[in-house]
Structure 1
Amino acid sequence: MVQAIGLWVVAIVGAINVWYFWSYLSTARDQAKAAFRQAEGLLKPVVVVASTTTLPVDSAAPVTGDIPAEVYGDFVRLINIGNGPALDLHWNYQRVHESVHGKCAYLAPACEFVMKIPVEVGTGEKSIHVEYKSFDDVSYISDTVLRDRVIERSTVREA
């Protein structure tokens, strides 16, 4: 009888130890994931279409409504405004009558990639779709919608 009680005590203490060990491992795994996401946030690439702000012609006039952003320069430029490199870029410029696409091996932070494709004016809506990865293989998608030279919408998200 004493041996049976002893076995039950050992089994219960062992089960409690296993539960604590499993709980500890789960917490450590969650902390490792959080640290990884924090590092990713510090070195995250963010690729967007380079733009400039169009200011009103009469600088003394009050500004009402939205001030549109336009594509910077005569050609579409992709710029990495993030803190980490963008790797394996695949871009697609959907114009009214055609789709032009290409690749870029990497884009360092604060650097730009110039597509030698003129921005069409007066041809309706166009879109630029860019897919790229961070150094730790997280995929991102950047989408920009243009009407003439004006940037109507720009989004960046995890794929």
Structure 2
Amino acid sequence: MHQNITTHTAYHTRWFFVQQRIGKGERPFWMYKFRTMREAYNAQGVPLPDELRLTPWGRWLRKYSFDELPQLWNILRGDMRLVGPRPLPVAYLSKMTPEQRRRHHVKPGLTGWAQIHGRNALPWESRFALDVWYVQNRSLLLDIYICWQTWLQWWRNPDGDTPGQVL
């Protein structure tokens, strides 16, 4: 599997979407999610928009964030933590400023400071700023607070509606 890291950044199985993401120290790792979209392309070979590829089962998984559950395997393996900046695809690394890259001083997480402050509704600059703030201020109490807030937001908004996110 490791020899594919240099040539492939994602692969799919029937049930799982597996993609290379950036971990602590900018080390790539394979992140697992339940697959929520079908592979569908236009005549030029470009993937169709997310709205057209999302399956009914995938919509339900995303609605309740259950598509993220396989990342518990990443936590058990030591690639991720429960709380930390969300792991981004490897291709994003070259687009980050040195300040934004500080988010990789800690392991990525299943939930994080940016997620409880707006998730996908936030512009990228704000998400990166919140991630760096977390890196500078992380503590056990902060992690407990983030977990609590994540649960409260999920409980209060079980539809998972986040502006700018395809459900």
TM over 0.5: no
**Which has the greater radius of gyration?**
1
Normalized per residue, which structure has more helix? 2
Q: TM-score, normalised by structure 1?
A: 0.22
